[in-house]
């Protein structure tokens, strides 16, 4: 034991900021790791432990990493831990660690977000608010986090690109935004969780989700990969690159990080407009939406648009993550007790399907039920509003509504759509229809209002979302909560 000042855990706990220095305790030592954190990009992970004892973080750092850290630590020793505190730390284990300490403060809760869970944070926009704006304001845009928000020091941030041969390249935030290096693209695109229309599907199985439509600015993934020369014809031809994997900085206790992948064909397709995004609605990405950089894969389910992007890996395999391998798959409804092999047989969901929903009046389930129209204050006019979106850039061709739960249909003529190129209709369609209840002579009859949409390839929605989402696996989400 070196001759050094003696500190208590109370002293250690006071050093959790840049100003006071980052201290931590381990075994019988006290360490000031400030300069380690400043100088080593990988060192930032250790900040989770600032003011704490490493022992209480066993679950975050694997034993291997602890050993590694221990070797480096001795250089940063500033003191000895007070008698008896070491034993207490060893008993304490996980209690003091809050993985969610870097989650941002959230103001949107004040504007009536529906918060499905706090840790991890999952919130969605109320239906009535959703259709108020064609471009969803960022503070109203749904947030879907599977884990905690990671700690990011922008000065250390660099995106890693790994080739199929394992060769690694790095790209800093400034390089990515340098317009002399990469030209920037801005698109309007909806982002939709595969579990959108959660309430409806929730009747079958509780899934979370939501949708929003925003402006995204970034550089084309294709351009970035090309700039590193990693998409050479030889690797493409010999099948070494079949998928592009993305991993976030949000990782669980065993350092398994959120990840997803898309087929290489999608990335090579010049129409696909996959972006490495750093701006949303004209502003720097917010923490919850993936600051500093996220992927946006327009027309594809939200799960593939990885936030807090850390690594891009070119591979002959899909991402190894749970979210690619088991979550976000649709099994045939005939599978009653799904086994892993059932998931293995099914492809991961990529492009979205045709989708539409009623937001006004607020839906109770798949439909809007109005039991009596007798005492309505609408002068006989009931305005029904909602959104529609096609997957893979396929524009919405028409939307229809029915007041008798799908027996008779009216064509919705009032569609708000953005002009977008063929197969690049990433934005949603907002629609509204004035139902003339008097004309319909339905004054006393209960109404069951439903909607449906068709895309330009005449794909339509199934009658209910039952078939489609019955086996959308959500086991991981349950486990996290
Ligand atoms: N990326 C990371 N790193 N971690 C996540 O939990 N969630 C995904 C995707 N990207 C997620 C992620 C899912 S399921 C969706 S629907 C979208 O991000 C949600 O994006 P948003 O929170 O910006 O609306
Ligand atoms: Mo999602």
Residue 238 confidence (pLDDT) above 80: yes
- Residues 439-452 have pLDDT tens digits of 776 556 778 888 99
Distance of alpha carbon 85 from alpha carbon 6, whole angstroms: 11
ipTM over 0.95? The verdict is yes
- Residues 262-273 have pLDDT tens digits of 999 999 998 999
Let me know if domain 108-348+471-480 sits in CATH 3.40.50.720.
Answer: no
Pick the ligand that lies closest to the CA of residue 142. Answer: 1
Sign of CA dihedral 432, 437, 439, 440: positive
Pick the ligand that lies closest to the CA of residue 291. Answer: 1
Q: Which of 75, 32, 24 is CA-nearest to residue 48?
A: 24
Let me know if domain 355-460 sits in CATH 2.20.28.10.
Answer: no
189 and 213 in contact (C-beta within 8 Å)?
yes
* CATH H superfamily, domain 6-97: Cytochrome b5-like heme/steroid binding domain (3.10.120.10)
Q: Does 144 sit in the ligand 1 pocket, CB within 6 Å? A: yes
Average pLDDT over residues 296-316: 96
Instruction: Tell me the average pLDDT of the chain.
Output: 83
10 and 96 in contact (C-beta within 8 Å)?
no
- Residues 165-186 have pLDDT tens digits of 899 999 999 999 999 999 999 9
Average pLDDT over residues 418-431: 97
Q: Does 258 sit in the ligand 1 pocket, CB within 6 Å? A: yes
Q: Does 216 sit in the ligand 1 pocket, CB within 6 Å? A: no
Rg of the Cα atoms in the chain: 26
How many helical (H) and strand (E) elements, i.e. helices and strands, does the chain have? 14, 26
Contacts of 155 (CB under 8 A, 6+ apart): none
- Residues 100-153 have pLDDT tens digits of 888 898 876 666 788 888 888 888 888 889 999 999 999 999 999 988 898 888
- Residues 18-69 have pLDDT tens digits of 889 999 998 899 999 888 777 654 556 667 778 988 877 655 544 444 555 6
Domain boundary assignment for the chain:
6-97, 108-348+471-480, 355-460
For residue 210, give the ligand 1 atom closest to its CA. Answer: 16
Task: Select which of 193, 251, 257, 465 is catalytic.
Answer: 193
Tell me the CA–centroid distance for residue 165 and ligand 1, in Å: 28
Task: Select which of 258, 328, 387, 433 is catalytic.
Answer: 328
Distance of alpha carbon 132 from alpha carbon 113, whole angstroms: 14
Whether 170 is catalytic is: no
- Residues 309-324 have pLDDT tens digits of 999 999 999 998 888 8
Tokens found for residue 67: 């050993």
Q: Does 248 sit in the ligand 1 pocket, CB within 6 Å? A: yes
Average pLDDT over residues 235-239: 83
Give the model's pLDDT for residue 68.
56
Give the model's pLDDT for residue 372.
63
Tell me the CA–centroid distance for residue 145 and ligand 1, in Å: 6
For residue 249, give the ligand 1 atom closest to its CA. Answer: 3
Whether 359 is catalytic is: no
Q: Does 36 sit in the ligand 1 pocket, CB within 6 Å? A: no
Average pLDDT over residues 421-435: 96
- Residues 342-383 have pLDDT tens digits of 788 888 889 988 989 898 888 766 677 776 665 555 677 889
Distance of alpha carbon 299 from alpha carbon 391, whole angstroms: 5
- Residues 61-110 have pLDDT tens digits of 444 445 556 667 888 899 999 998 888 877 765 555 567 888 898 876 66
Q: Which of 67, 64, 66, 54 is CA-nearest to residue 27?
A: 54
Give the model's pLDDT for residue 464.
63
Give the model's pLDDT for residue 35.
82
Tokens found for residue 351: 């492009």
Whether 15 is catalytic is: no
Tell me the CA–centroid distance for residue 289 and ligand 2, in Å: 12
Give the model's pLDDT for residue 261.
96
pTM to 2 decimals?
0.80
**Which residue pairs, CB below 8 angstroms and at least 24 apart, start in 92-98?**
92/53, 92/55, 92/56, 93/55, 93/56, 93/58, 93/59, 94/56, 94/57, 94/58, 94/59, 95/56, 96/52, 96/53, 96/56, 97/48, 97/49, 97/52, 97/56, 97/57, 97/59, 97/60
């Amino acid at each position: 034991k070196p001759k050094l000042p003696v500190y208590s855990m109370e002293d250690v706990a006071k050093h959790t900021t840049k100003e006071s220095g980052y201290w931590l305790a381990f075994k019988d030592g006290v360490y000031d790791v400030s300069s380690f954190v400043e100088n080593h990009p990988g060192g930032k992970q250790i900040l989770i432990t600032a003011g704490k004892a490493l022992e209480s973080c066993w679950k975050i750092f694997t034993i291997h990493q602890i050993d590694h850290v221990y070797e480096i630590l001795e250089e940063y020793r500033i003191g000895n831990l007070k008698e008896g505190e070491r034993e207490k730390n060893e008993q304490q284990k996980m209690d003091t660690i809050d993985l969610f300490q870097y989650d941002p403060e959230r103001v949107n809760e004040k504007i009536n977000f529906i918060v499905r869970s706090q840790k991890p944070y999952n919130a969605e926009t109320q239906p009535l608010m959703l259709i108020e704006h064609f471009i969803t304001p960022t503070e109203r845009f749904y947030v879907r986090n599977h884990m905690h928000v990671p700690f990011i020091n922008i000065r250390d941030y660099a995106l890693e690109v790994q080739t199929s041969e394992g060769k690694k390249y790095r790209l800093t935030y400034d390089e990515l935004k340098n317009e002399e290096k990469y030209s920037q693209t801005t698109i309007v695109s909806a982002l939709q969780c595969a579990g959108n229309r959660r309430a409806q599907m929730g009747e079958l199985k509780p899934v979370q989700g939501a949708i929003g439509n925003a402006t995204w600015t970034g550089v084309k993934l294709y351009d970035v990969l090309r700039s590193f020369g990693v998409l050479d014809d030889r690797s493409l031809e010999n099948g070494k690159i079949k998928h592009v994997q993305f991993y976030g900085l949000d990782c669980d206790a065993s350092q398994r990080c959120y990840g997803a992948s898309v087929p290489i064909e999608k990335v090579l397709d010049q129409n696909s407009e996959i972006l490495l995004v750093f701006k949303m609605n004209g502003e720097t990405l917010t923490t919850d939406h993936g600051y500093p950089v996220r992927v946006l894969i327009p027309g594809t389910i939200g799960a593939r648009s990885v936030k807090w992007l850390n690594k891009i890996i070119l591979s002959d395999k899909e991402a190894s993550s749970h979210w690619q391998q088991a979550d976000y798959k649709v099994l045939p409804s005939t599978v009653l007790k799904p086994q892993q092999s059932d998931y293995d047989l099914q492809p991961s969901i990529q492009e979205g399907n045709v989708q539409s929903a009623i937001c006004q009046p607020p839906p109770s389930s798949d439909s809007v039920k109005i039991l009596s129209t007798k005492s309505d204050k609408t002068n006989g006019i009931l305005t029904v509003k909602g959104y529609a979106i096609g997957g893979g850039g396929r524009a919405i061709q028409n939307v229809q509504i029915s007041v008798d739960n799908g027996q008779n249909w009216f064509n919705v003529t009032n569609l708000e759509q953005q002009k977008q190129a063929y197969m690049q209709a990433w934005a949603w369609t907002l629609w509204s229809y004035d139902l003339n209840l008097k004309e319909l002579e339905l004054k006393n009859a209960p109404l069951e209002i439903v909607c449906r949409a068709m895309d330009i390839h005449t794909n339509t929605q199934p009658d209910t979302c039952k078939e489609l989402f019955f086996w959308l696996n959500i086991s991981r989400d349950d486990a996290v909560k």
